Chains A and B, each alone.
Chain A
């Protein structure tokens, strides 16, 4: 045993030596490459071959639109298929709809005229295909996973059709959609259409579908490149699960002239270091970065590193249902003020994430007159300083009659969570003398179970939007919502959310109500907002127009062009 240990020690030294050597030389080769690619960036002429190569961590789980729950699958569907509208450059554009719909006076009936669009097999896109697509998505027999979006959008009867206890359960012919003729589609809502109605129509759940194809492939629909048909900007040319897929420009798309890139090849590479190596050797044109690779690429290719925000928010649940101490507002305020978010994002994450002391993220959604939801307080509500934390904690101690408390911090599994948890636990114990935080990391399934059964004090969580509206971040905090696992119940907040849901006829008023609701929530601290996720990636200088939007497809290839290089 002893002998082996000695050998491995020697081996470690040798390895370390080799590492130092390789680190020295990599610095050199990096800088020489830099000067080479600068010349390439100066020309604006398009390359002969419009091909984009991508290395991604994410495979496509499925392209059956009733079964998709993840951003990758939905993102690809939004590239190969089309809806009435399309999100591009953070704006809603009319896609299969030929311009603005006709809207009834009560704003409950929308009539769309369709363009002369075709599927890739030459058949026309018709209004009946929309009706089939919507009905199939809401048919319990399709076992849909995300059809609650129809109820969130107030599509007529959607909520009842989805409710197993209702008489209307599964009666999809009662859904508020009708084909007047081949090219005219009428959508009926239960309330005046909410502001996000048109952007929602860009989601795959709302796309037209081909009954003949879905029935032909049955269970296998959407599981291979040939079992799915395209009416969008791209076609799925190949798809080897777990390995690669490629998109090809779809010449039969009605707006094909606007698409420059001819082919997008995506290789599935699970290991980030391998993706970065592929990028550094020119085998791939773009890679999303995290951790230490951000600094490494910034040093090597400073002009190729890009940064942006995502619509993901991270926060801590505070359980005030079963932990009586956490019912105390001053204690919640103390915990909130104890965590230095700026160091969290700038020192720990360094990926473009920003500190948040808000519920609805920045740059995600704008009011009817074009103002960002965060424009009045871009950095969020004041979180307080270390001394504020101490002050709140002293008050809480007095009110509760205790001098120390123990809290558990429940979080999902994962390497990044490990660092985050330790930071949070350390900040709380450091700034609130007498508070001890124990970390409890659990696999996702168990995390959810413990969270939903209130077996935690603080729980790390994140939220991505279901639709482009502040409500997707707000209505989950009402008293009886299953997602509100804090036990917080606030009558004023509940009534503001109910009011906003009834104000869809006056979007400006509804907007103000939602601002008030967030303000009410942020005065009570049922949660500790932590940060809004950022994203850092590298892209070669000859790639133009690649977009990672805050809402819409995960990656938008429709604006991409490749310069001569």
Chain B
């Protein structure tokens, strides 16, 4: 196991380096400069500014500089925010997005699994159709439509919940629900399909024949086995939700990192593009790693060190 983990970590670092390198090179192909007023200053002044920030050097040299600095924890300054360190901005904004995303994924997963289990066990009943109806709705309605609706009814019309900002627990309710509904729907559908398959397996019939309580049959034998595919989608789903909450963050005026994924590219803010990409890829790589470890915990038959 330790050897497997060590090997995985080496692969993770290599993947991460490939992502950074590829992003850096493609980013430098984008036309334009990070200087917002480049159309107002003289070409000489623009050249001077590029020189100061090392943007006039060949791309491989710039890349080596960047990696060198990054190894010392210096990701550069953001051109959009008066050269404020990218690390400071990420440290301020990313936790907000992480809070929102993880809350949505955890709540979504719990409800999704519950609904999926119920639907799977009561296949063909009104409960099954009801949950699947909700789940299809959840997949069809984009989160931002739901967000706008909730904001209008709960925030404007009935004024039950704060309609924007990120100041206390009550401010989390609407954005978390808006993001979680998609997770619920996805997880519930997967869970139902797996449950339907698992409850028809021979070992479940055996377990029942042995007189094991139905609680234990469901949770120890069925759900555990049905969870594996669900865990597989939860990894990338978490990374996507944590970083892809841009629209929800905008609608509820949540000071997260979401908008920087787009803004930094549009403004040629090189250090910020790198910072957000690194954050996203690290998160995705780590989530996939955790999922792989979880496989072994849930299903001992999956031997991680296998094949040797």
Which positions in A face B, CB cutoff 8 Å?
A: 4, 7-8, 11, 15, 18, 22, 25-26, 29, 61-64, 67-70, 140, 143, 145-146, 148, 162-165, 219-220, 222-223, 240-243, 267-271, 273-274, 277-278, 280-281, 283, 413, 443-446, 448-449, 452, 466, 482-483
Using CB atoms, name the residue of chain B closest to A4: B136
- Set of chain B residues within 8 Å of A11, measured between Cβ atoms: 136-137, 140-141
**Inside 8 A of B41's CB, which chain A residues have their CB?**
145, 148
B253 touches A61 (CB 8 A): no
Q: Would you give 7 A-B contacts (Cβ < 8 Å), ordered by A? A: A62-B81, A69-B37, A220-B84, A267-B164, A277-B155, A445-B33, A482-B42
Q: Is B181 an interface residue (CB 8 A)?
A: no
Those of B118-164 within 8 Å (CB) of chain A: 133, 136-137, 139-141, 145, 148-149, 151-153, 155-157, 159, 163-164
- Determine whether B296 belongs to the interface, using a CB cutoff of 8 Å to chain A: no
The 9 closest A-B CB pairs, nearest first, are: A445-B32, A62-B82, A243-B255, A8-B140, A269-B253, A242-B255, A449-B31, A270-B250, A7-B136
- Indicate whether B205 reaches chain A with its CB closer than 8 angstroms: no
Q: Verify A165–B44 contact, CB threshold 8 A.
A: yes
What residue of chain B has the Cβ atom nearest to residue A5's Cβ?
B140
Of the residues B82, B145, B153, B259, contact of A223 by C-beta under 8 Å: B82
Query: Contacts of B92 on A, CB cut-off 8 Å?
Result: 241-242
Asked if A22 meets B152 with Cβ closer than 8 Å, knowing A241-B92, A268-B253, the reply is yes
Residues from chain B with Cβ under 8 Å of A148 in the complex: 40-42, 45
Tell me whether A277 and B49 are in contact (CB under 8 A). no
Q: Are B253 and A277 in contact (CB under 8 A)?
A: no
Q: How far is the CB of A143 from chain B (nearest CB, A)?
A: 5
Give the CA-CA distance A62 to B84 in the complex, in Å: 8
A241 pairs with B32, CB closer than 8 A: no
Residues of A close to B145: CB separation below 8 A:
15
Q: Could you tell me which residues of chain B, from 20 to 75, have a CB within 8 Å of some CB in chain A?
A: 30-33, 35-45, 47-49, 52-53
Name B82's closest neighbour in chain A (CB-CB): A62
Q: Determine the distance from Cα of A61 to Cα of B34 in the docked complex, in whole angstroms.
A: 13
How far is A281 from B42 in the complex, measured between Cα atoms in Å? Answer: 48
Which chain A residue lies CB-closest to B254? Answer: A243
Residues of A with C-beta under 8 A to B165: 243, 267
Which residue of chain B has its CB nearest to the CB of A272?
Answer: B250
Known: A25-B157, A70-B36. A278 touches B141 (CB 8 A): no
> Residue of A at shortest CB range from B165?
A267
Task: Determine the distance from Cα of A483 to Cα of B41 in the docked complex, in whole angstroms.
Answer: 9
B253 near A143 with CB under 8 A, answer no
Cα A84 to Cα B45 with chains together (Å):
28
B81 touching A143, Cβ below 8 Å: no
Interface string of B166-201 (1 = CB under 8 A from A): 100000000000000000000000000000000000
B251 at the A interface (CB under 8 A): yes
Total of A-B residue pairs, C-beta within 8 Å? 146
Q: Which residues of B contact A220 (CB under 8 A)?
A: 84
Residues of A near B136 (CB, < 8 A) are: 4, 7-8, 11
Q: Of A64, A222, A449, A482, which is within 8 A of B32 by CB? A: A449
Bound form: Cα–Cα A268–B31 in Å? 30
By beta carbon, the residue of chain B nearest A146 is B37
Contact B149 A278 (CB under 8 A): no
Distance between Cα atoms of A201 and B30 in the complex (Å):
38
Chain A residues whose C-beta falls within 8 Å of the C-beta of B40 in the assembled complex: 146, 148, 466, 483
Contact B157–A145 (Cβ < 8 Å): no
Assess whether B207 is interfacial by the CB under 8 Å rule.
no
Given A11-B141, A64-B82: A145 and B31 interface contact (C-beta under 8 Å): no
B259 in contact with A270 (CB, 8 Å): yes
Complex: chain B residue closest to A3, CB-CB = B136
B221 on the A face (CB < 8 A): no
Q: Is B232 an interface residue (CB 8 A)?
A: no
Kindly list chain B residues whose C-beta atoms are within 8 Å of the C-beta of A223: 81-82, 84
Contacts of B233 in A (CB 8 A): none
15 other contacts beyond A140-B48, A242-B255, with CB at 8 A cut-off?
Answer: A11-B137, A61-B81, A145-B41, A148-B40, A164-B45, A164-B47, A164-B48, A219-B77, A219-B83, A241-B92, A281-B159, A443-B266, A445-B30, A445-B31, A446-B32
Instruction: Judge whether A143 and B52 touch: CB under 8 Å.
Output: yes
A549 to chain B, nearest CB (A): 21
Please indicate the chain A residues that have their CB under 8 angstroms from the CB of B80 in the complex: 61
Which chain B positions have C-beta within 8 A of A63?
Answer: 82
Contacts of A219 in B (CB 8 A): 77, 83
Return the contact of A268 from the options B148, B251, B255 (Cβ within 8 A).
B255
Question: Chain A residues near B163 (CB, 8 Å)?
Answer: 274, 277-278, 281, 283
Task: Give the residues in chain B near A165, CB-CB below 8 Å.
Answer: 44
Assembled-state Cα–Cα distance A274/B247 (Å)? 12
B residues within 8 A CB of A69?
Answer: 35-37
Q: Which residues of B contact A243 (CB under 8 A)?
A: 165-166, 253, 255
Q: Which of B40, B77, B137 has the most CB of A within 10 A?
A: B40
Which residues of chain A are within 8 angstroms of B156 by Cβ–Cβ distance?
277, 280-281
Residue in B52, B82, B140, B141 whose beta carbon sits within 8 Å of that of A222 in the complex: B82
Q: In the docked arrangement, what's the CA distance between A418 and B251, Å?
A: 22
Which residues in B have their C-beta under 8 angstroms from that of A222? 82
Instruction: Flag if A483 contacts B83 (CB, 8 Å).
Output: no
A242 and B84 contact, Cβ closer than 8 Å, known pairs A11-B140, A270-B250, A448-B39: no
Separation in Å of the B39 CB from the closest CB of chain A?
A: 6
Q: Which of B83, B89, B133, B268 has the most CB of A within 10 A?
A: B83
* Given A61-B82, A148-B41, A164-B48: A15 and B141 interface contact (C-beta under 8 Å): yes
Q: Which residues of B contact A443 (CB under 8 A)?
A: 32, 266
Inter-chain CA distance A57–B91, complex, in Å, is: 22
A550 to chain B, nearest CB (A): 19
Q: Write the nearest CB–CB distance from A449 to chain B, whole angstroms.
A: 4
Q: Which residues in A have their C-beta under 8 angstroms from that of B139?
A: 4
B266 touches which one: A18, A281, A444, A449 (CB < 8 A)?
A444
In angstroms, Cα B137 to Cα A140, docked, is: 59
Give the residues in chain A near B36, CB-CB below 8 Å: 69-70
**CB neighbours of B259 from chain A (8 A):** 270
Q: Which residue of chain B is the closest to A145 with respect to CB atoms?
A: B37
Q: Knowing A241-B89, A242-B93, A280-B156 are in contact, say whether A482-B84 is a contact too (CB < 8 A).
A: no
Find out whether the CB atom of B32 lies under 8 angstroms from the CB atom of A483.
Answer: no
Shortest Cβ gap from B27 to chain A (Å)? 11
Q: Cβ of A444: which chain B residues have Cβ within 8 Å of it?
A: 32, 266-267
B-chain residues with CB within 8 Å of residue A29 when the two chains form the complex: 157
Find chain B residues with CB under 8 A from A413 CB: 266
Task: Return B200 CB to nearest CB of chain A, in Å.
Answer: 22
Q: Known contacts A146-B37, A162-B45; is A274 also within 8 Å of B81 by CB? A: no
Chain A minimum-CB-distance residue to B37: A69
Across the two chains, which residue of chain B brings its CB closest to A442?
A: B31
CA distance A162 to B47 in the complex (A): 12
Q: Which residues of A contact B140 (CB under 8 A)?
A: 4, 7-8, 11
Interface string of B82-96 (1 = CB under 8 A from A): 111000010011000
Q: Which of B31, B77, B84, B151 contacts A274 (CB 8 A)?
A: B151
**Chain B residues near A15 (CB, 8 Å)?**
141, 145, 149
- Give the CA-CA distance A64 to B45 in the complex, in Å: 19
Residues on the B chain within 8 Å of A145, using CB: 35, 37, 41, 49
For the complex formed, measure the closest distance between the CB of B145 and the CB atoms of chain A, giving whole angstroms. 7
Q: A90 to nearest B CB, angstroms?
A: 24
